[in-house]
Chains A and B, each alone.
Chain A
Amino acid sequence: MTGALLYLRLTSLRNLVAYRLGRLRQPKYLLGAVFAVAYFYYFVIRRFGAARGAVALAGAGGPSAGMLAASAICAMLCLVAVVRIAYAWIWPPEKPGLAFTEAEIAFLFPAPVTRKALIHYRLLSAQFAILFSAVLITVAFNRSGFLGGHRALHAVGWWIMLSTIDLHLNGTNLSLGRLRETSAHFRLWRLAGVAVIAAYAVAVYLSVAGPVEAFLSDSGSRGGLDGLSGALRGATAAYWLTLPFRIVLGPYLATTYREFAVAIGPALIVLAAHYWWVSTTQARFEEGSIAIAERRAAMRSAAQRGEVLKLGRKPKALPGPFPLPPRGLPEIAFLWKNLLSLRSSLFSRRALFVVLGIGAWAYFGLGPLMRVRSGDALGFVVLMFCAIIAGYTLILGPQIARQDLRSDLPNADLLKTYPMEGWRLALGELLAPTTILTVILWATILAAAATYDSAGRVEWLTAGVRATVAGCLALAAPMMCLIQLIVPNTVMVLMPAWYQSSRTRGGGIEMFGQRLMFGIVQLLFALLVAVPAAGVAVLVYIASFWVLGISTGVVLATVAVVFILAAEAAVGLWFLGGRFERFDLSLENR
């Protein structure tokens, strides 16, 4: 039986690779693949490879930016894994299930296959993805470059970490499912579990916070990572509390063969214990597996139809974001509708987790920094932070906030029967994401203006000037957001086949490349529309501030910017609306 299951897995893998290679004959996939390979080479492999050369320098001048970036990303991935595990313990699914495809369920569940064989098959299937991920992550982050050690050992380290996490999630799923089936007091058990997790998190924080703060406030704390890890080694409670995690991380963190040999044993024991846990837990996973498979299939077909990918939960009915009278501008109806769909997406358990995660990161991560840094330095940190968020909002925001024509693509026929000109329909559809992105930008502008104060060093940057600049940026923000949103919507209408393929879930490196290309188009367009506005703004400012002062100069320049951006947005909407009126999705499917 194992042979048959192995045959199924290997043959599927071979055919998948053949299919992926075969579709490279299509230019859109080939170009995507070339883009992705070039990106990985120049921005990941080469860059982190350069960090390797920096090791020799690290002893003298501390870690390089590349090393810190790589270690920060690794730390973030670990944090994501921890949060994912906590999520699995706190919110287990209603019914335990393992991730099989619908075809696997149709063929394997009725077949004379033991329950254990099914679990083994599932674990084996996961191993293909885990092995691939381990190799990819090893190459991408090149940990050898900043902490030393052999790459092959790091790959094994990643494999152990990923396999343990996968087994742990499955074990949690099955154990809690079993508990739900057998215990009349499941809620109490779950509550106790949440309390233990919370207590554990608080204990880890308390045991780590002291040494970290002492390290940061120490004026001589310029020892980089070594100094920080030295400070942590001194915390005995933290040492024992984090022991299970450190055992799993041990092979990855080993820098010599000897360290690896010492670390691999305990890590494999933990891994084997997890395997035993999963394979012996007597939970009925069939119904849950069917539900998972159906949900995945529905998500896949939704993505292929061009609909928004859902996280596998049922949407909830919510009241409208504001009263919608039957008379008035029809564009507002689209704002109302799209805000409603956004609220449904926002009020999810996962969204709550993301917000809590960001909040925890801000408090635990920035908190100590804020306490030891004072005055304008803190304002500068906040300013930089806000600038980064604002930049991401303008460049990546339009790719994420899709409550517009893109999410309504399946309803294109219906929309076109509405008695509205194309540009008005496009404007209506874009109002909701424009509002969302604008609110985020306004929040960053407000935060930066409220905390940044460099009047001590820059005389002319008075509170009045700061307020004027902030107000002017806030005025220009909606137009910039609107223009940025016109770009991906126009791309969708002009090249629906490309756009659709880039939205399909998963899909390999070529799909990543396609998404990358769309991101680059977005960035280039942002620059293109900003150049004339910025040029005119500079001219107006230079011409006016000598006579009228800085604030008035800024206001006049902003008026010019808003005027130009509004004109650009109007042209964009007119073009997008016209194209949408002639757009025929069925033609693309022929």
Chain B
Amino acid sequence: MIEVEALTKKYGAFTAVRSLTFSVKPGEVLGLVGPNGAGKTSTLRCLAGIIPATAGTVRIAGHDLSAEPVEAKRALAFFPDEPRLFEYLTVRQHLTFVARIYGVADYEALATPLLEELELAEKADVLPGELSRGMKQKLVIACGLLHSPKVMFFDEPLTGLDPLGIRRMKDSIVRRARGGAAIVLSSHLLHLLEEVCTNVLILKRGDKVADGTLADVAAQFSNGEPDVSLEEVFIRATGGSEG
């Protein structure tokens, strides 16, 4: 579903991501981890088509992101860490707008349960300025899920959510993966990754340090010790310092 080959992203002379290759199959949740400045956000933004890769290929649902960007983007949803919303559109109007952009014919039938699931039904006619940060985050999620994407990218998805919201978000990610979506999520919250991810990819200074199932990566850095936590794996893999 997501195939990345030799992805490289440079900002001038600085290389943020260096020749990254990995894939995420339907039903898999890949956790993208690394210290600050490791290249996680650059990777996610390249995968979502927000910024062009300097080199390499990204295929989303079979479509080359650089050659067929529209088809590829139709299959994906990107959830940024900071909820960005249109100030003058109510919650419901956001969904109307997004439905038109993605051509979701029966969006009203989808929107109602989605708003209820995300506890936004009572706020359907209010503007983003009247929503808490967590509510805004939920609205971003509702907009992203409206067109039933096959591929999802989450950048720090739990930021600003209350404990119940965190629980629901984790459940939602797992449920979408079980429904056949391929998901990549970037987070510093390693316990989140342990709970919801099937695979993990560790980056350091733009390079891939480890990639595989949680068990495989844990085994790679466990030095023979049993039950090594992802936190310990992360520290051993990256040296614990900034990227």
Contact = CB atoms under 8 A, between A and B. Distances in A.
A582 B52 contact: yes
B13 interface: no
Given A326-B105, A582-B52, A419 B89 contact: no
Contact of A410 (B48, B70, B84): B84
Nearest to A310: B87
Interface in A297-340: 307, 314-318, 320, 324-328, 330, 332-333, 336-337, 340
A413 B49 CA distance: 9
A2 interface: no
A417 B104 contact: no
Contacts, number: 103
Interface string B68-95: 0111111011101000111111100100
Contacts of B126: 317
Nearest to A323: B96
B127 A327 contact: no
Given A327-B103, A336-B97, A582-B52, A413 B125 contact: no
Interface string A327-364: 11010110011001100100000000000000000000
A581 B49 CA distance: 9
A314 B97 CA distance: 22
A316 B97 CA distance: 18
A326 B100 contact: yes
Given A317-B127, A416-B49, A417-B48, A337 B97 contact: yes
Nearest to A412: B50
Of A314, A326, A336, A413, chain B has the most CB atoms within 10 Å of the CB of A326
A417 B76 contact: yes
Given A324-B96, A340-B93, A581-B52, A414 B101 contact: no
B45 interface: yes
A408 B87 CA distance: 10
A344 to B, nearest CB: 4
Interface string A395-434: 0000000000000101101101111110000000000000
A264 B107 CA distance: 71
B11 A328 contact: no
Contacts of A337: 86, 88-89, 93, 97
B104 A326 contact: yes
A501 B216 CA distance: 50
A574 to B, nearest CB: 15
A326 B85 CA distance: 19
B80 A413 contact: yes
Contact of A417 (B78, B96, B99): B78
A419 B74 contact: yes
A587 interface: yes
A421 B70 contact: yes
Contacts of B89: 337, 340-341
Contacts of B71: 419
A258 interface: no
A185 interface: no
B129 interface: yes
B50 A420 contact: no
Given A315-B87, A326-B104, A417 B129 contact: no
A330 B104 CA distance: 11
Nearest to A330: B101
B225 to A, nearest CB: 39
Nearest to B52: A582
A457 interface: no
The 7 lowest CB-CB distance pairs between A and B, nearest first, are A333-B100, A341-B88, A419-B73, A419-B74, A326-B99, A344-B88, A417-B78
24 contacts: A307-B87, A315-B129, A316-B127, A317-B126, A324-B97, A325-B100, A326-B99, A328-B100, A330-B101, A332-B100, A333-B100, A333-B101, A337-B97, A340-B89, A341-B86, A341-B87, A341-B89, A413-B80, A416-B51, A417-B76, A420-B73, A421-B69, A582-B52, A586-B45
Interface of B: 11, 45, 48-52, 69-74, 76-78, 80, 84-90, 93, 96-97, 99-107, 125-127, 129
Interface of A: 307, 314-318, 320, 324-328, 330, 332-333, 336-337, 340-341, 344, 408, 410-411, 413-414, 416-421, 581-582, 584, 586-587, 590
